[in-house]
Structure 1
Amino acid sequence: MSALKTKSSYAYIPGVMQYSAGVAAADGFAIERARFEEPVKLDEGFARIKAHLESIGRPLDAFCACELRSPAPFTEAGFRTFNEAYSSVLVDWGIMEGEDNPVARSNVCPEVAPPSEPSFHAFCYTVPAAGVGPTFVVAGSGEAREGQGTYRDNTVRFGETTPDAIAEKADYVLGEMERRMSFFGAGWADTTAAQLYTVHPIHAFLESEIVRRGAARHGLTWHYNRPPVKDLEYEMDCRRILTERVLLVG
């Protein structure tokens, strides 16, 4: 990945077409997070996000990150098709140009009671703020190197789910979180939340890798979800956000 790029109210780590690797608020702004009470289908979610931004007097390009929930892991071809539809809205909103997507994202698949179609779980946006310090969102990463070709050819211990394989995958993902945070001059000590997505046991390395590394300094939110592409097994994201809210649905 290259150096940080900027939008009007935040900087981002250039990533792949479907998302950036992370965002950080520009000086004079802060990132806030809103979570829907229940997942909201994609089209309705975009409409609700637009309405929320309008209600607080923020432009569409204040939208900087989101968390999605999908029915089941995609094939690589299916993931590309989904990403093309998703990113078309960002183009319409004037946020995305070409394949340069500044919006950070996580997209995971609940193993139990999944949504019937891709849906929004949460989203982030910038607001004017002074004196609050840095805020950032690191996008979700599984155990595959992004933008290097097929997932099959770039996944740590592809197809393996033994305890030592999951631990190796986790070590890679933790390192990727740290690498992405380093773009913002940040580390685990700066985070306010960390989220983990896997259906595999983590207890064997929870203390030695996650806790001792500092990734659970405020606890760890473990979602019993799978990453968005078949044969990926472990994903994380993290953030420093000082204002979070829940939006009622209905």
Structure 2
Amino acid sequence: MTAIAFAPGNYRFVPSVFQYSAGAAADPGFHIERVMFREPVPLKAGFDLIAAMIRTAGRPLTSFCACELRSPGQFSDQGFRSFNETYVETLRAWGLFDGTTNPVARSNVCPEIGAPTEPSFHAFSFTREGDAGEPNFVISGSGEAREGPGPYAERIVRYQETGTDALTEKAVFVLAQMEKRMAAFGHAWRNTTATQTYCVFDIHPFMASEMARRGAARAGLTWHFARPPVIGLDYEMDCRSVAIERSA
């Protein structure tokens, strides 16, 4: 994984799939601000609100570098692709998506309790001027699916298995993905300010010991009772190091 520059947004990103990058990190002289909505905001209204907030901050729309979505339920493979094709059209209009490459990091999960009735924004991040003196990055959510073409069912680690050994293998795979993505920016667990895991199965005992073994004590691990976005996935994680976090 190699980070490349996205000069219009004043950040670097790690290329991934068309709907999102593997992560984004602020350029020197800039920092990342994260805004969490107190209530989920439906996708179209959310984009409009985000655009207004970014412009009010005196920043270009290309400074939009990451978002966190919440969906009512898991998608089929085709349903997920259709959703993503709609999602990236706004990014194209904002000068972020060129039809192939997308610099914006993203997570998208399905809360088991209190899910929105339609895909919605939970939070977003954008770059602002001013060096915060600490690494500023957002790593996209990753489920336990190997990258590449083909149906998710063929790429998911221990597909349709939820025993202790299977969940452990899934979690190890995702932890490694987080580490690879952070390493592309020259960072590691010690640099994070927050880490989220999303799973409807109890994995606390394993995660506590495994993250301690990996030196992730500073990660601020939070567990959410939620599922990854695609049918068949059981476990997801994302992490970040953000200078400013606020609600709106």
> TM-score, normalised to structure 2's length?
0.96
The equivalent of 1:89 in structure 2 is 90
Shift of 1:150: 1.8
Q: What is the count of residue pairs matched by the alignment?
A: 246
Residues 41-80 of structure 1 aligned to structure 2 (within 5 Å): 41-80=42-81
1:16 aligns with 2:9: no
Q: After superposition, what is the alpha-carbon deviation per residue over 1:176-220, rounded to whole angstroms, capped at 9, x for unaligned?
A: 000100001110000000000000111331222123323342531
Q: After superposition, what is the alpha-carbon deviation per residue over 1:110-163, rounded to whole angstroms, capped at 9, x for unaligned?
A: 011210000000000000113523200100000001233221111110111111
Q: Which whole-Å CA distance do the structure 1 matches of 2:146 and 2:202 have between them?
A: 23
Q: Which whole-Å CA distance do the structure 1 matches of 2:126 and 2:132 have between them?
A: 18
Q: Which whole-Å CA distance do the structure 2 matches of 1:203 and 1:102 have between them?
A: 32
Q: Which whole-Å CA distance do the structure 1 matches of 2:49 and 2:204 have between them?
A: 38
Bigger drift between 202-211 and 149-158 goes to 202-211
Residues 4-153 of structure 1 aligned to structure 2 (within 5 Å): 4-8=3-7, 9-130=10-131, 132-153=133-154
The equivalent of 1:206 in structure 2 is 207
Aligned partner of residue 125 in structure 2, secondary structure: strand
Q: Which whole-Å CA distance do the structure 2 matches of 1:225 and 1:170 have between them?
A: 15
Aligned structure 1 segments of 4 or more residues deviating by more than 3 angstroms = none
The equivalent of 2:218 in structure 1 is 217
Aligned partner of residue 218 in structure 2, secondary structure: coil
Q: Which whole-Å CA distance do the structure 2 matches of 1:64 and 1:149 have between them?
A: 28
Q: 8 Å contact 1:194–1:216 — kept in the other structure?
A: no
Aligned partner of residue 157 in structure 2, secondary structure: coil
Q: Which whole-Å CA distance do the structure 2 matches of 1:78 and 1:52 have between them?
A: 30
Q: Which whole-Å CA distance do the structure 2 matches of 1:218 and 1:231 have between them?
A: 27
Aligned partner of residue 205 in structure 2, secondary structure: helix
Q: Which whole-Å CA distance do the structure 2 matches of 1:148 and 1:209 have between them?
A: 30
Q: Which whole-Å CA distance do the structure 1 matches of 2:31 and 2:72 have between them?
A: 32
Identity %: 55
Cα distance change on mapping 1:38 and 1:216 into 2, 3 Å = farther
> TM-score, normalised to structure 1's length?
0.95
The equivalent of 2:238 in structure 1 is 237
Q: 8 Å contact 2:36–2:123 — kept in the other structure?
A: yes
Structure 1 spans left out of the alignment, 5+ residues = none
Amino acid at match of 1:211: A
Q: After superposition, what is the alpha-carbon deviation per residue over 1:62-91, rounded to whole angstroms, capped at 9, x for unaligned?
A: 000000000000000000000000000000
Amino acid at match of 1:61: T
Amino acid at match of 1:7: F
Q: 8 Å contact 2:30–2:132 — kept in the other structure?
A: no
